[in-house]
Structure 1
């Protein structure tokens, strides 16, 4: 119905909730879930949006034994909601809250000595692969199957993402939430797949995750898929984190990226943005948009005059005139392979650099 309000002023939350250290996050998540389920505006604190309406307190038992907290309903109508509606909201809130508690209890049981716990510690302490492997040996964690490391950036985070992903990939051996991001280790399943088959599977994973979360929850994602390996969980995690950086720099707007599709982005990853811009502007700066488009199509079609003319719907003589004009303005003839390489790098950078 409306966007959930931001957290309000310090001290405005219900007094009893202030004493329940460590429960603030779950209280906010409860308010978000209740808003999504009821279609009303529910807040964990007295935010400005609540004060502008007619706040109604909804007590939810269960944060601690014999304790309760208060959520706030932003009521915009001239009359307050009736008791039946409040009782329904309380029942719904208690059910949602219990589900949240159950989920957290399960996570707590898996905490110390689990793959997820170890990854969290590795991230916090900035371990390298060797240090991570030492801790894996210390805790005698079970071996992992050959699997894809998958890093999913979600915008925004939704409380049902974990459930949806568990239903989609019940075979996942690691599922680590770093809201609003999620990391999975997904077994390949079929042994002895060729490189081409693994690459195709990686591309499919991007589309599966992107489409499902968009359709089911309305969540936009960027899906990063690393090369599959056996038992190299931390190396895979670091790989997909680096993919996220390269995606943001060179592939922004695309649904995802695999390690196989880095291409020139890998070569340009250490090149500063200023140097990259200077390179392509120095080579293409004198060309009009039409000439740059002609050059791009010409390069994409392997320097073929016939194929390029067909794609652009122009006569071969017109294309040759444009290529001559590019040569005149830049000093490089795109018909020559060595010069075409310079143009290809420049066009790629202009297209991808963010």
Structure 2
């Protein structure tokens, strides 16, 4: 339905006949559609998805014969496409609610993409912000590409962006750059803090289900363990994602086993922040010191004190993994 306005504009220019496109919630467009009907207009196409309704109307007396027949044929095809898109949206909505189901039968044949698409999961950080306010700015950001938008239960929106809009090849670094650009766009244009998670390219609509599940798992992990992280890729934070997927009994059992093997004292907020930043910077001392606004020697002193207190050296990979797991289990 996103392209109906564009099609209506083209039809109006080509035929010089009156035609109107209305889009919004039922409450928003009902008054205008009633007014037009009273003036002799009729609805020739109508569809709804995720709370949004689109209507195409024409004055009956102005459209007759062949033009009217062609118009009906054109929008009957578009209504079928909108129906397929609606099925996909409803299926993704169920997945976001935690009820994964197989994709609708025949979806791959009915709704075929010409090229792979890259999923971006957007997450609001507060209530009261409408995703519909993004409609004017997203196409420009993606260079006019034809986007698929799927509003999900609060606080999510899923975008499926044609790969060609992001470049011929998408590696993790490039994907994160686009995600960071989206985050900055929302901050500057909408004054909203929106978390953006970029997934890996998917070939056809049925693969969006698995892509959405991966992104939602990472979103939950970030909210729990890395709430300050606002831009991420589904390839990142594997330990956090793994811990989130564990059941309560498994988590408790693993935590107990590790702590019996390596008793870890309670750490203060400064020590936890130091370790988390050190792990996020892949055990790089210089980058961690820069991130924490510390002198390198000050950071080394902190790490030495942590080693002395815990018996584990976070600069050693295997010991860093144990420390990170213990911190994650305690947070969960």
Q: What TM-score comes out, normalization by structure 1 length?
A: 0.55
State the 1:149 CA deviation: 0.9
Q: Is the 8 A contact 2:123 2:157 kept in 1?
A: yes
2:305 is matched with which residue? 322
Judged with a 3 Å threshold, the aligned counterparts in structure 2 of structure 1 residues 271 and 26 are, in CA distance, closer, same or farther, namely same
Gaps of 5+ in 2: 1-22, 39-51, 57-74
Return the offset for 1:348. 5.6
For residue 142 of structure 1, report the CA deviation from its aligned partner. 2.3
Q: Contact 1:61–1:67 (CA<8 Å) still a contact in 2? A: no
CA distance in 2, matches of 1:338, 1:346: 13
Show the 5 A alignment for 1:42-61: none
Tell me: CA distance 1:176–1:124, structure 2 relative to 1, closer, same or farther (3 Å): closer
Aligned to 2:173: 200
Q: CA RMSD in A?
A: 4.6
Structure-2-length-normalised TM-score:
0.58
Give the corresponding residue for 2:110. 140
Q: Which residue of 2 aligns with 1:174?
A: 148
Task: Please say if residues 226 and 258 of structure 1, whose CA atoms lie closer than 8 Å, have aligned partners that are also in contact.
Answer: yes
Cα 1:296/1:206, change in 2 over 3 Å = closer
Number of matched pairs:
255
- Counterpart CA distance in 2 for 1:298 and 1:160 is 38
**Does 1:222 pair with 2:195?**
yes
The Cα offsets for residues 236-280 of structure 1, whole Å up to 9 and x where unpaired, read as 233323333233222223223211212211221223577388778
Q: Of the candidates 213, 228, 239, which is equivalent to residue 238 of structure 1?
A: 213
- Counterpart in the other structure of 1:120: 89
Deviation, structure 1 residue 117: 0.9
Confirm or deny that 1:250 pairs with 2:225. yes
The residue aligned with 2:120 is 150
Deviation at 1:211, TM superposition (A): 1.1
Q: Deviations over 1:94-115 (max 9, x none)?
A: xxxxxxxx97237x98554445
Larger radius of gyration: 1
Q: CA deviation at 1:140?
A: 2.5
Q: Which has the higher contact order (CA 8 A, sep 6+)?
A: 2
